[in-house]
A and B are shown apart, each in its own frame.
Chain A
């Protein structure tokens, strides 16, 4: 909780702290910048793209050059344009999948953490089981079942990531429970649910907040993995993983650019998220001040 307060805190001290913080850690700045770039691409990517990212052309496998900065792929699609537009899909999937996972996981985590009765523990056990399923293959099955669409991929990935949040929140709840104010709340005769969602929930959000960007990163990686085996979003939707998949067989024949650039893009995007998560973690951690 203090972490969250500290973030929102507008005291001079905190401002000074933030400035000092970022001056001391250029990496965090890089991270935030990266995230900003990709987020803005989500919005402006399409308008910036020099070519239509989904329209086939007869510029077949052009190497990088003045006409196509990052070359073209087998269908004559401009790699650069597709990379610019891809965040619209990848980042959307990443962020909304993570958000959805939080929405599913957090409340269940609180319940399973606080309720020491059968359904509390049942939830916990159920998610233990879910956590055992090999996520990738299950994702493939689910997508194959639900059909290739952005929304389906989002739901599937969210489902697969929610156990993580359940676990996170549950353990945090366990630690928060001991705190005085919870007992106090209980003594004041608040209902269990009120305690859980008015007192425990807000105080258990810190790890979730930190985990969020990381998770978004995972979601993006998982998506690209799915597309790599042809179970991702529907082609020719520009998506980094799919682009890598198209380029993979071209590496041996010398058309390295088709796979190389999207790979770098994924790397940067996820790296950005990871870095900002890292910064968030330190910012929210009172002991690191």
Chain B
């Protein structure tokens, strides 16, 4: 074979390859940043400008990075965090908590936050309307008359009407899904409880007595007005698909600030501003929601200014942003309604025994988890329900504290098994650290904790099948910011979210009772008493209030905290 010629060829190819690599772009100037991580200096280089010709987005475009794109925009098909985030922006929740300062709801000051939702009000106290601009409550508190906001227009310019709401409610009951669930929580038993008075007026009725959480329920971004005029016009409501399920997979029909213009599942969603939005035209004409699974990529892109907002960073990465880095800063609150818990399954398995569960309560290194695994983010909590939910929260309900010796004693006393499974979600790196910490603790008295790292889907499935010994899990404290409801949702014997399978009739009864009492001191007293019991035996140990952190471009302004922890892009502006 004529090696000579081949060799020449080879050289050419190598030259071309290197050229290709070179053409990958000329390097921008770099800045060396020194960071303090847990007491040591870490030095690294970050590219200060967007990597060379990386087409940097226009000033009226907002780029949001998420681990995954939402599975459609159907308000009745639950689709996870990013679905929620998209929905609040395209539909706008029917009502909102008014925005106040941190002190007013009794949490420490956050950083870079314009205001926080006043979630601790009673009844309709501190509730402002979006879809409905005003309402009257009947004396018996069981009937509410709501008036649709005049001038509330969708992206297509259609005025919102009572029918838009009526249709939504009917759809919820027809599809028997998230929507229906939410309505039932509010005390609406069926479609017949919602009546259209005239084109702009709706009457809603709670037959089982006055609901303390009626208005809070309307603040949850699941029940929205839907622009059915547009859907009808487009002929999307057909015989075989009367509720437009297909249409909702591809886009939205909301009255919110933004509208889904392009949806490429697994790649990106492109939103455009709703020019008729009743609060005024949004600053950002386009919002691009992009799927970037690797957290380190999201981190780097926000730091480089290629993107403006991102979620789901690892704590180490968040920690890097504390002092600001490159284009990015970290905003947030140390203390919100997101709790990190350790669930123990109470009806079977090792923690069915009271002692064993108590031992767990004493074995959890609450402080260490906060200091090490969570790098000082969030707050160690002693309450069952986040304290921001007002006077009903018992701030010192947790009877346990870190005490390995006591744990060891109790474990022996209850002659609990020599090992148990601790399940956790593979997606969140910190949880593995927590698991390892806990494992180390139990190893001290010869108990082998088998770490059971599971896929997200599997965790949820196992939880609802109660198929676990112990598990590290969030609970985003209740859709609805109410202590009674929170207690019901996570501890009531009939609640599907009672994952720890703790069935205590007495406590359940007390919770039921609280749900039918109007706000007041005796309800408060009752709930305080209940909470102590919940934490002592309820199988759910509050470990941390993880707070709320969001990595954003340092020039962005106007961040508000909503009870869903989802940002409304409408609020944001360039400084």
Cα A61 to Cα B41 with chains together (Å): 11
A56-B440, A77-B436, A236-B436 known; A246-B451 Cβ under 8 A: no
Please report which residues of chain B, range 306-327, place their CB below 8 angstroms from some CB of chain A when the two chains form the complex: 314, 316-317, 319-320
Question: Contacts A60-B372, A76-B372; is A230 near B426 (CB within 8 Å)?
Answer: yes
**Docked pose: A251 CA to B294 CA in angstroms:** 12
- Residues of B contacting A76 with CB < 8 Å? 372
B318 to chain A minimum Cβ distance, whole angstroms, is 10
Separation in Å of the B392 CB from the closest CB of chain A? 37
The answer to whether B458 and A144 have CB atoms under 8 Å apart is yes
Of A75, A148, A251, A254, the residue contacting B453 (CB under 8 A) is: A148
**In this assembly, does B450 line the interface, its C-beta being within 8 Å of a C-beta of chain A?**
yes
B203 close to A (CB within 8 Å): no
Most buried by A among B35, B303, B439, B440: B440
Docked-complex contact B295 and A249, CB < 8 angstroms: yes
B460 at the interface (CB under 8 A from A): no
Are A252 and B299 CB-contacts (below 8 A) given A144-B455, A144-B458, A236-B436? yes
Which of B35, B43, B319, B453 has the most C-beta atoms of chain A within 10 angstroms of its own C-beta?
B453
Residue of A nearest to B34 (CB): A254
12 A-B pairs within 8 Å (CB atoms) are namely: A55-B443, A75-B432, A75-B436, A75-B437, A144-B455, A148-B453, A231-B455, A250-B296, A250-B316, A253-B319, A253-B320, A255-B42
Chain B residues closer than 8 Å to A62, beta-carbon distance = 40
Q: Judge whether B229 is part of the interface by a CB distance below 8 angstroms.
A: no
CA A74 to CA B294, docked complex, whole Å: 17
Q: Which residues of chain B are near A248, meaning CB under 8 Å? A: 294, 296
A215-264 CB contacts (< 8 Å) to partner B: 230-231, 234-236, 246, 248-255
Other-chain residue from A55, A231, A235, A254 in contact with B440 (beta carbon distance below 8 A)? A55
Q: Name the residue in B35, B294, B436, B443 with the highest tally of chain A Cβ atoms < 10 Å from its Cβ.
A: B436
Judging by beta carbons under 8 Å apart, are B37 and A61 in contact?
A: yes
Quote the shortest CB–CB distance from B54 to chain A (angstroms).
16
Given contacts A62-B40, A230-B453, contact A246 B429 (CB under 8 A): yes
Chain B residues with Cβ under 8 A from A8's Cβ? none
Q: Determine how close the nearest CB of chain B comes to the CB of A139; give it in whole angstroms.
A: 14
> B427, B430, B433: which has the most chain A beta carbons within 10 Å?
B433
Interface residue? A54 (CB, 8 A): yes
Bound state CA distance, A230 and B44, in angstroms? 28
Which residue of chain A is the closest to B368 with respect to CB atoms?
A: A58
Q: Which 9 residue pairs spanning A and B have beta carbons closest together?
A: A254-B44, A230-B426, A252-B296, A56-B440, A249-B296, A75-B433, A75-B436, A254-B42, A60-B38
Answer whether residue B300 sits at the interface, using C-beta atoms and an 8 A cutoff: yes
CA distance A201 to B294 in the complex (A): 48
Q: Which residues of B contact A249 (CB under 8 A)?
A: 294-296, 299, 314, 316-317, 429
Determine whether the beta carbon of A234 is less than 8 Å from that of B450: yes
The B-contacting residues of A in range 139-175, CB under 8 angstroms, are 144, 148
Q: Is B373 an interface residue (CB 8 A)?
A: yes
Main secondary structure of the interface of A (DSSP, over half): loop
For the complex, give the distance between the alpha carbons of A14 and B295 in Å: 57
Q: For chain B residues 434-462, which have a beta carbon within 8 Å of chain A?
A: 435-437, 439-440, 443, 450-453, 455, 458
Q: Tell me, yes or no, whether A207 is within 8 Å of chain B by CB.
A: no
- Distance between A164 CB and nearest chain B CB, rounded to angstroms: 28
Given contacts A56-B433, A253-B299, 8 further A-B contacts (CB under 8 A): A56-B437, A75-B372, A75-B437, A77-B436, A234-B450, A235-B435, A249-B317, A250-B316
Chain B interface main SS type: helix
CB atoms of B317 and A253 under 8 A apart: yes
Contacts of A252 on B, CB cut-off 8 Å? Answer: 296-297, 299-300, 303, 317
CB A263 to nearest CB in B, in angstroms, measures 15
Number of interface residues of B (CB under 8 A): 42
Residues of B within 8 A of A50 (CB): none
- What is the CB-to-nearest-CB distance from A173 to chain B, in angstroms, rounded to a whole number? 33
In the complex formed, the residue of A with least CB distance to B33 is: A254
User: Do A74 and B42 touch (CB < 8 A)?
Assistant: no
Nearest CB on A from B326, distance (A): 11
Distance A206 CA – B317 CA, assembled complex (angstroms): 51
Contact of A74 among B300, B427, B429, B439 (CB under 8 A): B429
Q: How far is the CB of B434 from chain A (nearest CB, A)?
A: 9
B436 adjacent to A253 (CB under 8 Å):
no
Which residue of B has the minimal Cβ distance to A147?
B452
Interface residues, chain A, with chain B CB atoms under 8 Å away = 54-56, 58, 60-63, 74-77, 144, 148, 230-231, 234-236, 246, 248-255
- Whether B426 pairs with A254 at a CB distance below 8 angstroms is no
> Contacts A54-B439, A249-B296 known; A61 to B316 CB distance under 8 Å?
yes
Compute how far the CA of A231 lies from the CA of B42 in the bound complex, rounded to whole angstroms: 31
A254 to B297, CA, bound (A): 13
How far, in Å, is B368 (CB) from chain A's closest CB?
7
Whether the pair A235, B451 counts as a contact (CB closer than 8 A) is yes
Q: How far is the CA of A202 from the CA of B40 in the complex (A)?
A: 61
Least CB distance from B296 to A in Å reads 4
A267 vs B109: C-alpha distance when bound (angstroms) = 49
Find chain A residues with CB under 8 A from B430 CB.
Answer: 74
Cα A250 to Cα B372 in complex, Å, equals 16
Chain B residues with CB under 8 A of A234 = 450-453
* Minimum Cβ distance to chain B for residue A141 (Å): 11
Smallest CB–CB gap between A221 and chain B, Å? 20
Question: Closest CB of chain B to A68's CB: distance in Å?
Answer: 11
Question: With A76-B372, A253-B299 in contact, is A54–B317 under 8 Å at CB?
Answer: no
| Chain A residues whose CB sits within 8 angstroms of the CB of B432 once the complex forms | 75, 235-236, 246
How many angstroms from the CA of A236 to the CA of B443 in the assembled complex? Answer: 13
A56 to B430, CA, bound (A): 13
Chain B residues closer than 8 Å to A61, beta-carbon distance = 37-38, 40, 316
Q: Choose among B297, B316, B375 the residue that contacts A255 (Cβ–Cβ < 8 A).
A: B316
Q: How far is the CB of A67 from chain B (nearest CB, A)?
A: 11
Docked complex Cα distance between A257 and B435 (Å): 22
Q: Hey, which chain A residues are within 8 Å of B42, CB to CB?
A: 63, 253-255
Report the Cα distance A251→B42, complex, angstroms: 12
Q: Measured between C-beta atoms, what is the minimum distance from B79 to chain A in Å?
A: 22
CB neighbours of B295 from chain A (8 A): 249
**Which B-chain residue is minimally distant from A248 (CB atoms)?**
B296
Residues of A within 8 A of B440 (CB): 54-56
The contact of B316 among A77, A230, A236, A253, by CB within 8 Å, is A253
Chain B residues 289-307 with CB under 8 Å of chain A are: 294-297, 299-300, 303
Question: What's the least CB distance linking B88 to chain A, in Å?
Answer: 28
* Closest chain B residue, CB of each to CB of A62: B40
With A56-B440, A236-B439: A74-B453 Cβ-Cβ less than 8 Å: no
- Check if B40 sits within 8 Å of A235, measured CB to CB: no
Q: How far is the CA of A253 from the CA of B183 in the complex (A)?
A: 45
User: In the complex the two chains form, what is the Cα distance from A253 to B372 in whole Å?
Assistant: 17
Cβ distance A49 to chain B, nearest Cβ, rounded Å: 16
Complex-state Cα separation, A230 to B426, whole angstroms: 6
Q: What separation, in Å, do the CA atoms of A55 and B442 have in the docked complex?
A: 11
List B contacts of A250 (CB < 8 A): 296, 316
Task: Give CA–CA (A137, B294) in the complex, Å.
Answer: 19
Q: Which residues of A contact B300 (CB under 8 A)?
A: 252
A residues in contact with B437, CB < 8 Å:
56, 75
The distance in angstroms between the C-alpha atoms of A14 and B435, with both chains bound, is 56
In the complex, the chain B residue whose C-beta lies closest to that of A249 is B296
Measured CB to CB, the nearest residue on chain B to A140 is B455
Inter-chain contact B35/A254, CB cutoff 8 Å: yes
